[in-house]
Amino acid sequence: MRVEERVEQGGWLGESLPPFIGLHRCGTPDFRGRARLSAGAGLEYFLQQMINGLTLGSIYGLIAIGYTMVYGIIGMINFAHGEVYMIGSFIAVIAFTLLSAAGIAAVPLGIVAVLLAAVFFTAVYGWAIERVAYRPLRGAPKIAPLISAIGMSIFLQNYVQLAQGARVKPIPPVVRGSFELLHLDGFTVRLTFIQIFIILTTVVLMIGFTYLITRTSFGRQQRSCEQDRTMASLLGVNVDRTISATFVIGAALAAVAGVMVTMYYGVVDFYIGFLAGMKAFTAAVLGGIGSLPGAMLGGLLIGLIEALFSAYFSIEYKDVASFSILILVLMFMPSGLLGRPEIEKV
């Protein structure tokens, strides 16, 4: 039986999955379709979509930061970043499985442990990717690291496929329960605990990250390398180490996104990084590539657009909506919402 069929029958984990928009290419229950029949396009339905969209957008935003930071500092789109996020999800699955095998039931502690493990190991991957695939190409024509990134992406997908198998990996739900915010006309607006967890974690991380970049010594080094790498190095800034740290931070944020997605959807496979990565890339471009607030904003917007589009138009074509935005932004507003128009250095 294919994954989609099993999920659609609601028998995936022996119970029905929570209502959400699918981030994966594998199917998700057509919750909204049914809801639309009973409740129409009322306010409460819209509210539910906003909640779903914000959750999804948080995840896109976290991944988008990695794209935009790396672009800012070495002027390259790290196409392997989606795979970094996928690896984060896999480490989460492994860690959750190990924890439940060890019989650890304390959920908050377990989640913290999984987060730490995922952040650590994914950061190591992020560091290694930069070291292996990009640093040797520093100073090469711009197209070279880009191709290297695509190669790295394919390599990581296949590596995970070989190491973990091609099948979808499920975990049992970690956090259950929800608040019922509104109950109108037979339609219930739910805010699940896991959604609260995702949105709160994202807000905290983004505040911390903004502090890191704007207020700390590391942030100053990072920004100085972004604006003029050569000059930074002449002032004694270790540019290579700063670039490594950028990859590590991007990977750490993607790992958190991966853990949260795993908890939210309960399934991962080796291919999820591709689509999520492309969506986050779209988010970074929409916000203005190179702009950190732009990445956060773009992520939220893409999440909302995707949720609303699937709610009111067609869930099958939600990817079309996201990528149409990518095309429109690139055509009519290439510097994005918060980006600065690029001035060629003479």
Partner 1 sequence: MTQYDDSAVKEPLLQVDGLTMRFGGLIAIDNLSLVAGKGQITAIIGPNGAGKTTLFNCLTGFYKPTEGNLSFFHPAKTLQLQKLENHKVAQVAGVVRTFQNIRLFPKMTLLENLIVAQHNALMKASGYTFLGLFNLGGYAKAEKAAVEKAKYWLDQIGLTHRADEEAGNLPYGAQRRVEIARAMCVGPRMLCLDEPAAGLNPSESLELNTLLFRIRDQEKIGILLIEHDMSVVMKVSDRIYVLDHGKRIAAGTPDEIRNDPIVIKAYLGEDEDAELPPEIAADLAMRG
Q: Which residues bind partner 1 (CB under 8 A)?
A: 212, 216-218, 220-221, 223-224, 227-228, 230-239
Residue 220 Cβ vs partner 1, minimum distance, rounded to whole Å: 5
CB closer to partner 1, 26 vs 69: 69
Residue 192 Cβ vs partner 1, minimum distance, rounded to whole Å: 32
Residue 277 Cβ vs partner 1, minimum distance, rounded to whole Å: 28
Residue 181: both structure tokens together = 């915010």
CB closer to partner 1, 45 vs 247: 247
Residue with tokens 């670039």: 243
| Helical axes 81-101 vs 43-74, angle rounded to 10° | 120
Q: In this structure, what DSSP letter does residue 291 have?
A: -
Q: What does the alpha-carbon distance between residue 114 and residue 129 come to, in Å, rounded to a whole number?
A: 22
Residue 125 Cβ vs partner 1, minimum distance, rounded to whole Å: 20
CB closer to partner 1, 162 vs 234: 234
CB closer to partner 1, 36 vs 138: 138
**Other C-beta atoms within 10 Å of 344: how many?**
4
Answer yes or no: are the C-beta atoms of 198 and 258 closer than 8 Å: no
Which residues share a beta bridge with 191? 179
Residues 90, 72, 138, 157, Cα dihedral to 10° = 20
Residue 319 Cβ vs partner 1, minimum distance, rounded to whole Å: 35
CB closer to partner 1, 177 vs 236: 236
